[in-house]
Amino acid sequence: MNVSGVWRGAGALLALSVLMTSCVQRREVGLERVRKAGELRWGADAQGGEPYAMEDPDVPGRMRGFEVELADALARELGVRARFVQNDWSSLIPSLERGSFDVALNGIEITPARSGRILFTRPYFIFQLRLMARRDDDTVTGLASLRGRRVGTLANSQAWDLLQREGIHAVPYEGVEEPYIDLEQGRVDAVLMDDLIAQRYGQPRAVLRVVGDVGEGYYAIAVRPGDEDLRAALDVALGHIARSGELRQIFARWNIDSAAQQRMVEWSDAQTREVLAQTQTPHLGWAQWVMFLQAALVTLVVSVLAMALAVPLGVGLALARLFGPRWLGRLASVYVELFRGTPVLLQLYVLYYGLAGVLRLDALSAAVLGLGLNYAAYEAEVYRAGVLAVPRGQMEAALALGMSTPLALRRVVFPQAFRVALPSATNDFIALLKDSSLVSVISVVELTKRMTITAVDVRGWLLPGALCAALYLAMSYPLALLARRLEARLERG
């Protein structure tokens, strides 16, 4: 593809995205749609776990949690049934916008960025932002003591915004347990999360301590713009179950009730308006461009280092399979099948969290190691195929001249195998460049993660998405060109 081809491709992509966006906006209006369907589809992430919404360990497929009971109660008030829709927590809002479900109800905090983007009902729960640190680290005394240090939290949460404002290095996580594991391991200096999460996942850990609560916020139900009547109906329903005492009974059943929750019972519409009045008009500023470039650099560094590990390891594995003693060849085959046959995502999890007790790696090293070990399996097969593709006669001719087997391999077989393997190896490297986005699960902010964070911040996916794609292309295309030139040079022989 030449340069103009690239732009044509990008144009087509843009047109497709616009088309998809406009399709989503054609839909029936809120409450009527819910009543007609006879069900209130609510989006949440079962991975969020207790006490929000999670799969019932005793009855697989059934959900439990205080938000499950809340959804049931609200649906009953609306005269319909509640239906749970699984969705990754970090993309609940975009999924809501594109109509995957009617409401998002999953510990979603009212933040200025969000309230500028979607509708919120009145709050249903008050939470505290709880700061935790290691027991043996007494340097953490509050937010002020953490300036410039690493603090883990969920991306795009209220805690995330607070940390950014305070000039603290916020490390984004996708799950609620992982930040506390990393705090134990010393990979972050503190964790700032909602008290509900801290109680369940942080406080039971003996080596951690509560530094204090540094702010409060509200959970509310997110509704699509345009569904104002649905929001009004949900506000009425919430008010009703709050006043009847049912809301606090639900909280009590899940041990999250406190005197503070009485404010939910006495909540007024005026208070809702006041809370929602704080909206932010987000935009893609210079700071974000710079962060994109930094994230692209992380992607590039992770990919290059991982490949630098995968190539020699792959060569070793291929040699073991081709020329090694039987037991070593077997071992190499097992390695290849194990790493090729299981998801790299799983391998990253095991390496970073699973082995955290034995192998204390920082996130970047774990990312490089995980991707490198995984790609070595693919490289081994590519190189092996390359060696097998060299005709037997070449080896024989070299031996007939008095060369030793290693010399014949080095001077005659491998150079020709390299030529065969180069296109596949290039292909793998480009694939690795993109697969490196998986390392965001172990809290590395690379290009794709930066794109999702920014997209949520600025309320749009199109521009950050296009920017992200352009940066990936800017990295992979020169690589493809370089490989093509090298192939052409080798072609002559």
Partner 1 sequence: MIEVKDLCKRYDGRAVLDGINASFAPGEVVALVGPSGGGKSTLLRCLNGLEPFDSGSIRVGDDVLEPGALRARGTQVSNIRRRVGFVFQQWHLFAHRTALGNITEAPRYVRGLDAKAAMALGRALLEKVGLSHREGAYPSELSGGEQQRVAIARALAMEPEALLLDEPTSALDPERVGELVELLSRLRDDGLALVTVTHEMRFARELCSRMLVLHGGRILEEGTPAQVLERPRHERTRAFLGLERVVRQEAPGGLEPGTTAVATVFPAATARE
Residue 396 contacts partner 1 per CB under 8 A? yes
Distance CA 229, CA 31 (A): 6
Three-state SS for 335-390 is HHHHHHHCCHHHHHHHHHHHCCCCCCCCHHHHHHHHHHHHHHHHHHHHHHHHHHHC
Question: CB within 8 A of 236, min separation 6: which ones?
Answer: 77
Q: Is the peptide bond before 391 cis (omega within 30 degrees of 0)?
A: no
Stretch that binds partner 1, among 69-77, 296-304, 408-416, 471-479 (CB under 8 A): 408-416
Instruction: Report the Cα–Cα distance between both ends of the chain, in Å, rounded.
Output: 26
Output 24 or 407, the one with its CB closest to partner 1: 407
Which position among 19, 325, 402, 488 is part of the footprint of partner 1 (CB under 8 A)? 402
Stretch that binds partner 1, among 35-43, 106-114, 196-204, 399-407 (CB under 8 A): 399-407
Output 95 or 416, the one with its CB closest to partner 1: 416
Q: How many residues lie near partner 1 (CB under 8 A)?
A: 21
Residue 333 contacts partner 1 per CB under 8 A? no
Residue 27 contacts partner 1 per CB under 8 A? no
Output 143 or 319, the one with its CB closest to partner 1: 319
Which position among 23, 401, 463, 481 is part of the footprint of partner 1 (CB under 8 A)? 401
| Partners of 64 in beta bridges | 54
Residue 406 contacts partner 1 per CB under 8 A? no
Which position among 21, 394, 424, 427 is part of the footprint of partner 1 (CB under 8 A)? 394
Which position among 236, 334, 400, 463 is part of the footprint of partner 1 (CB under 8 A)? 400
Which position among 11, 404, 485, 487 is part of the footprint of partner 1 (CB under 8 A)? 404
- Torsion angle defined by CA atoms of residues 286, 290, 292 and 294, in that order, rounded to the nearest 10 degrees: -170
CB 121 within 8 A of CB 165: no
Which position among 114, 384, 419, 450 is part of the footprint of partner 1 (CB under 8 A)? 419
| Partners of 85 in beta bridges | 43
Residue 493 contacts partner 1 per CB under 8 A? yes
Which position among 47, 203, 280, 416 is part of the footprint of partner 1 (CB under 8 A)? 416
Output 418 or 477, the one with its CB closest to partner 1: 418
Residue 132 backbone dihedrals phi, psi, to 5 degrees = -125, 150
Distance CA 233, CA 210 (A): 39
Which position among 170, 238, 412, 444 is part of the footprint of partner 1 (CB under 8 A)? 412
- How many CB atoms neighbour CB 44 within 10 A? 27
Per CB under 8 A, contacts with partner 1 among 373-392 are 391
Residue 398 contacts partner 1 per CB under 8 A? yes
Among the listed residues 287, 301, 302, 284, the one whose alpha carbon sits nearest the alpha carbon of residue 465: 284
- How many CB atoms neighbour CB 123 within 10 A? 22
Which position among 411, 484, 485, 489 is part of the footprint of partner 1 (CB under 8 A)? 411
CB 229 within 8 A of CB 30: yes
DSSP state of 107: S
DSSP state of 41: E
Tokens representing 387? 């060696």
Residue 422 contacts partner 1 per CB under 8 A? no
Minimum distance from residue 406 beta carbon to partner 1 (Å): 11
Output 231 or 419, the one with its CB closest to partner 1: 419
Residue 420 contacts partner 1 per CB under 8 A? no
Go through the chain and tell me how many residues it has: 493
Q: Which residues bind partner 1 (CB under 8 A)?
A: 391, 393-394, 396-404, 407, 411-412, 415-416, 419, 490, 492-493
